[in-house]
Amino acid sequence: MARRNSKFDSIRNTLLSKVTNPLQQLELITVAIIYKLIFIENDQLIRLSSKSLLVSQESSEKYHWDNLSDNSISGPDKLLLFKEGIKYLYENIEDKYFRTVLNNAEIPLDDPETFNKFVKEVNKLNLDHPEALGDAYEELLSTLRTSGDLGQFRTPRHLIDFIVEVVGPNKTDSILDPACGTAGFLISSYKFIKENNSELSASEVKKFTESLTGYDIELGMVKLASVNLRLHQIKTQQIFEYDPLTKDTRWDDKFDVVLANPPFMTPKGGIVPHGKYSLDTKRVEALFVEYILRHLNPSGKGAIIVPDGIVNNKSFIELRKEMLSNGLYCVVSLHEYSFKPYAGAKTCILFFDKTIENNQNILHIEIENDGFKKGVNRDIKIKENDLLDAKSLVEDFKNNIENTNLSKFKINSKIQDYSSEGLDIKKLYHHKNNLTLCPYTIIYENSLDPNSKNLIRLGDVFDIHKGTLQSTKSEPGEYRFITASSDKFYHENYDEKLTGPSIIIATGAGGSLGKVQFFNGKFIASDLCHVLKQKSNTEVDLYFYFYYFKKYKSLIEKVAAKGVSKRAINQTNLANLRIHAFSLEEQQRVGKIVKDNLEKLDSLNQSIKAIEDETLKLIL
């Protein structure tokens, strides 16, 4: 299902010929809405004979939004009036929110005819129904984030709502998003509280909206967040231009709920945090996790989206210990398409609740489908949606940690005991020492079939050799150069230790990750591949395991690959992968069929090539 037409599409189309930069379009639309809103609210105050006007009556008559539609005023004069009005309002209005939005506002439009059309389109927006307008504005922001025009990592609405529903903020909670962007988590929290409290008084609404706090390091984002909140009827708000990693002026502020999807991209050279952090790291994502742990109240709860490195990288073992002792109770693994088309990072959601004391049982969940088709464009809805079962499972787990029945839920999950006796070294090997929180590793128990009792460690069956040559180093020669590509390459040298029957698995980052090939002869392999050879003390049929690994390609990638935007399989993870054990008799029975079929395929391919060559000869 494609994105529905936004109320703002026609406004952007009007500007397109003169203002081509999406960010400038957005700022102009935003400033115009706020300009108009100021005079709507001021007119209401005048009608009520209020002594506290936003704008004096004299100034209102001069700069009023309605003047921009007055046919007696020329186009150039209207445009000049608008620009002067913005400057006047910023310098004279006392309302902090309006001043924030108008601060350093740039109007990149000098064409009066386009400006007249722009004003007409803005007048079609119904500011009497701010909730509908707010949703449309948020859709505009989402569209720009999806295309990358905001330079921000978009958190899809369905993931924001899932996180908020699991955390469950209430009307008395103070709520923070320390990397708020356009305030998606704050708006979702506001809606959640209103929907779950049907009889809120005006004072209660005012009180909990005043508790919504957001930080962002960019003034532009602060403006967008402020407008987004205002258009959702959240008039009292606390949105600050503030970097919680390098500034400590708000360090002592604590909150009942903290929600965040912080930036994953650490600047070159890293962040230099202020001295109140205990982590010895310059990684943005790790520092934000510590920030949440330190800024939750003793009974606080929250969630943060993090790259997979946080849950499985050796560098963050101490951080994971901190998480386990500070209310971590659930880790949800998202698939790699979750943030497409803007980014393909592999991520997890960490859920915290400090009221869950001394918890060593952590719920791990895999989200295979989230209601939207996987791919570059994520705007087609599908029936499959693991988020629904995940929400119910987490609620059940929180209410009954010791006795949750996972079989009731149609979703891949496992409860892992992280006490000193809990992690099974026979299954997790090196992961035990790493204190992994990775759902794939835990749910699949580092194996291709966690339910099977007949498993063996891959490294106990095969010698594993890493390829030695860069993929670009092919050259004329008589020996095959095997890469992750399907194309045939050659080289003048071969690797003697690889000679003979070999299984080659693409293990480097890229679209061919997990691809399996078989070769029998002299060859050399790319450094993006690992080569499996039969151990001298084992009996295996390589033809059998060649097709075994082909069959389990996707699962091998899922369980053994690590990394965020560039996932790869290292030799340690490959060696420790647990695979099915088969009798040599069964291997040889199937292996013979595989070998015969491979010979048939080779013969057919030679026939196809001969037919192609013969056909080419017909072309003069």
Kindly report the pTM of this predicted structure: 0.85
Total domain count, the chain: 3
Residue bearing the bigger pLDDT, 546 or 101: 546
Residues 172 and 120 in one domain: no
DSSP 66: G
Residues 397 and 317 in one domain: yes
Q: Is residue 17 part of a domain?
A: yes
Give mean pLDDT, residues 99-107.
86
Q: pLDDT tens digit string along 532-543?
A: 999 988 889 999
Give mean pLDDT, residues 332-360.
85
Of 159-168, 214-223, 260-269, 510-519, where does mean pLDDT reach its minimum? 260-269
Helix (H, G, I), strand (E, B) or coil at 365: strand
Q: pLDDT tens digit string along 227-251?
A: 888 888 887 779 999 999 999 999 9
Q: Is residue 58 part of a domain?
A: yes
Q: Is residue 456 part of a domain?
A: no
CA distance 595 to 401: 51
- In the structure encoding, which two tokens stand for residue 11, read together? 């406004």
Cβ(379)–Cβ(401) below 8 Å:
no
pLDDT at 1 over 50: no
Q: Is residue 608 part of a domain?
A: no
Q: Which helix (H) or strand (E) segment is 105 a member of?
A: none
Residue bearing the bigger pLDDT, 572 or 8: 572
Kindly give the residue spans of alpha helices, DSSP state H, lying in 384-457.
386-399, 425-428, 430-434, 439-443
- 348: β partners: 306, 333
CA distance 159 to 157: 5
Q: How confident is the model at residue 150 (pLDDT cuts 50, 70, 90)?
A: very low
CA distance 23 to 7: 17
Helix (H, G, I), strand (E, B) or coil at 209: helix
Cβ(76)–Cβ(109) below 8 Å:
no
Residues 330 and 283 in one domain: yes
Residues 404 and 474 in one domain: no
pLDDT at 427 over 90: no
Q: How confident is the model at residue 463 (pLDDT cuts 50, 70, 90)?
A: very high
Helices (H) and strands (E) in the chain — how many of each? 23, 20
415 burial level (CB within 10 Å; 0-12, 13-18, 19+) = middle
Give mean pLDDT, residues 308-333.
93
- Counted residue by residue, the chain has a size of 620
Q: pLDDT tens digit string along 572-620?
A: 999 999 999 999 999 999 999 999 998 899 899 999 989 998 998 888 6
Q: What's the pLDDT at 153? A: 53
Q: What's the pLDDT at 145? A: 53
Give mean pLDDT, residues 271-298.
92
Residues 140 and 123 in one domain: no
Cβ(362)–Cβ(325) below 8 Å:
no
Give mean pLDDT, residues 186-190.
94
Q: Is residue 619 part of a domain?
A: no
- In the structure encoding, which two tokens stand for residue 112, read together? 């009066």
Q: How confident is the model at residue 151 (pLDDT cuts 50, 70, 90)?
A: very low
CA distance 261 to 424: 32
Q: Is residue 403 part of a domain?
A: yes
Which domain CATH number covers 24?
1.20.1260
Which domain CATH number covers 420?
3.40.50.150
- In the structure encoding, which two tokens stand for residue 87, read together? 């400057």
Residues 147 and 234 in one domain: yes
Residue from 263, 264, 324, 322 nearest 294 by CA: 322
Order across the sheet with 489-491: list the strands. Answer: 489-491, 479-482, 523-525
Residues 157 and 238 in one domain: yes
Rounded to a whole number of angstroms, the CA Rg of the chain reads: 30
Residues 87 and 150 in one domain: no
CA distance 39 to 64: 6
Q: What's the pLDDT at 277? A: 94
DSSP 80: H
Q: What is each CA distance from 66 to 36, 115, 396, 541, in whole angstroms? A: 8, 14, 55, 83
Residue 440 CA from chain centroid, whole number: 17
Q: What's the pLDDT at 2? A: 41
Q: Which helix (H) or strand (E) segment is 289 a member of?
A: helix 284-295
CA distance 459 to 454: 16
Give mean pLDDT, residues 332-346.
82
Cβ(296)–Cβ(254) below 8 Å:
yes
Strands 500-506 and 529-534: antiparallel
Cβ(419)–Cβ(361) below 8 Å:
no
Q: Is residue 356 part of a domain?
A: yes
> What is the residue-averaged pLDDT of the chain?
88
CA distance 521 to 41: 81
Q: What's the pLDDT at 149? A: 44
Kindly give the residue spans of alpha helices, DSSP state H, lying in 444-581.
458-461, 542-551, 553-560, 571-576
Q: What's the pLDDT at 4? A: 45
Cβ(360)–Cβ(324) below 8 Å:
yes
Residues 360 and 478 in one domain: no
Which domain CATH number covers 598?
3.90.220.20
Q: What is each CA distance from 104 to 28, 86, 146, 588, in whole angstroms? A: 12, 10, 26, 75
* Cis peptide leading into residue 341 (ω within 30°): yes
CA distance 225 to 480: 57
CA distance 531 to 449: 23
pLDDT at 5 over 60: no
Q: Is residue 3 part of a domain?
A: no
Residues 215 and 353 in one domain: yes
Residues 319 and 439 in one domain: yes
Residues 16 and 155 in one domain: no
Q: How confident is the model at residue 261 (pLDDT cuts 50, 70, 90)?
A: very high
Domain span at 253: 132-443
| HEC assignment per residue over 222-277 | HHHHHHHHHHCCCCCCEEEECCCCCCCCCCCCCEEEEEECCCCCCCCCCCCCCCCC
- In the structure encoding, which two tokens stand for residue 415, read together? 């409860």
Q: pLDDT tens digit string along 544-555?
A: 999 999 999 999
